[in-house]
A and B are shown apart, each in its own frame.
Chain A
Amino acid sequence: MESNVKNAPLEYQTEHSQMSILGFWIFLAAEVVLFSTLFATYAVLFGRTADAPLPSELFEIDIVLIMTFLLLTSSFTCGIAIHQMRHGSKKGLITWLIITLVLGLGFLGFEIYEFVHYTHEGATLPSSAYWSSFYVLAGTHGLHVTLGIGWAILLLIQLVKKGITNVTSRKVFIISLYWHFLDVIWIFIFTSVYLIGMVV
């Protein structure tokens, strides 16, 4: 036990940190449940567009593809950030974390543009059951990305102030789990909402 702890990465070195990380996995499990209900709602209400436009009339593959690449790349750069942290490079960690944030902000910008565009075309939150479920599902994901960006900025300030310690490395590792999780959710939204919505 003791020797395992000594050889573990920095973020796993105290019992407190180990429990925090385990707790965050449990939080992610709860997030899976949250998104499952939203996906189920979306599936049930699929096609019930009433008088609003059909998703196949509005969805554009190029924008969604750009968003997907932005978010997937940000997940990759987030992985590099953790890699830098394991090597003890504060500068590398902060740089790659900022790149991750910029990519996340790009994703968010496109999503806001997309929502505004759909609203102008007559597909709003109250316009039909289908669009309600669409905005709640995609919007909940977008809100998670927004909160994640705010959270990461707080961690960047702490990193600049304190450097890579037991505590900050644990915090950065946990936000990386969160960020990868949002990426996975987006892959499901991309396939089951956008790709299917475009062809049906």
Chain B
Amino acid sequence: MFSVSTMLIAVPTGVKIFNWLGTLYKSKIQFTTPMLWALAFIPSFVIGGVTGVMLGMAAADYQFHNSYFLIAHFHYVLIAGTVFACFAGLEYWYPKMFNHKLNEKFGKLSFWLFVIGFHVTFFPQYFLGLDGMPRRIFDTGPEWFTLNFISTIGAFGMGLGFAIFVFNIYYSYRNSKRETTGDSWDGRTLEWATPTPVPHYNFATVPTISSLDAFTEMKKRNESTYDESKLEPIHMPNNTGQPIIMMALLFMSSFALVFEWITLAIIFLVGVLVMMVVRSFDDDDGHHVEVDEIKETERQLRGL
């Protein structure tokens, strides 16, 4: 069972590796912090993936099962696959969210500390597993001490890297240059076509997409998502608390069901039904953002 499900994941993921390499092939790579995170992801994840295939072989898995080999494997895939991606995404879209970039120097320092710390932490655990150390024990033998000690040093490295990342948020808030164009990285996709902070109606004129990397094409044609001749009033929904109230009631009823508090669950479910009726009879059509307001907002944000 373990081997079948492992192989079911491993084989398509092996194909994915070539997707990522293919995307990078022959491109002009700029080694900014988000790109470093994305690049570090590939080899780290491959190490996790290859050891995953080892776990997928039923005969060998009798030896690896529930050992530190497994622990090292899944931390390699989880941390490289999600934590690195979170860092990459956060650094990349940070200027779109908060109107300024994170400092590159501190970003790179925290990157190297975290990535090296990560490998120092988890790589020795493969060998601990092969040496027979099982998972979920509170006391280890002396023969496993050295590798565990190295692992601990690595963990402090990761901790320091993360602390610097957090400090960088504060540092950049104080010192980073504010964005003026909304296109912080000479981006290729449409989120960079909007000014920063993004107006609540998103696009002043909705772009027509004719190819991949729509924004690159637009920049070549000297177009933007603000074309005064094409402005129309934009329809927007009005603010309402209904969805969040409904979801809160649903959450509380599921919470009650988990502990089999049936009466409480029914009370909240009735609340959900009442909210659905309220919503059904709500004929709030929203409002239009008028052309003058769009003009004023965009001119101010784009500095026209």
Contacts and interface: CB of A to CB of B under 8 A. Distances in A.
Interface of A: 16, 150-151, 154-155, 158, 167, 171
A167 B280 contact: no
B52 to A, nearest CB: 28
Nearest to A168: B283
A171 B283 CA distance: 12
5 closest A-B pairs by beta carbon, nearest first, are: A154-B280, A154-B277, A167-B283, A158-B281, A154-B281
A158 to B, nearest CB: 7
Contacts of B283: 167
Interface residues of B, number: 6
Interface in B276-290: 277, 280-281, 283
A21 B283 CA distance: 18
A158 B279 CA distance: 12
Given A154-B280, A154-B281, 9 more contacts: A16-B235, A150-B273, A151-B280, A154-B277, A155-B280, A158-B280, A158-B281, A167-B283, A171-B280
User: Secondary structure at chain A's binding surface: helix, strand, loop or mixed?
Assistant: helix
A27 to B, nearest CB: 14
A166 to B, nearest CB: 10
Contacts of A167: 283
B242 to A, nearest CB: 15
A21 B281 CA distance: 18
Interface string B247-284: 00000000000000000000000000100010011010
B203 to A, nearest CB: 14
A164 to B, nearest CB: 15
A151 B235 CA distance: 28
A155 to B, nearest CB: 8
A16 B237 CA distance: 11
Contacts of A154: 277, 280-281
A167 B277 CA distance: 15
Contacts of B277: 154
Contacts of B280: 151, 154-155, 158, 171
11 contacts: A16-B235, A150-B273, A151-B280, A154-B277, A154-B280, A154-B281, A155-B280, A158-B280, A158-B281, A167-B283, A171-B280
Interface in B186-242: 235
Contacts of A151: 280
B67 to A, nearest CB: 33
A125 to B, nearest CB: 14
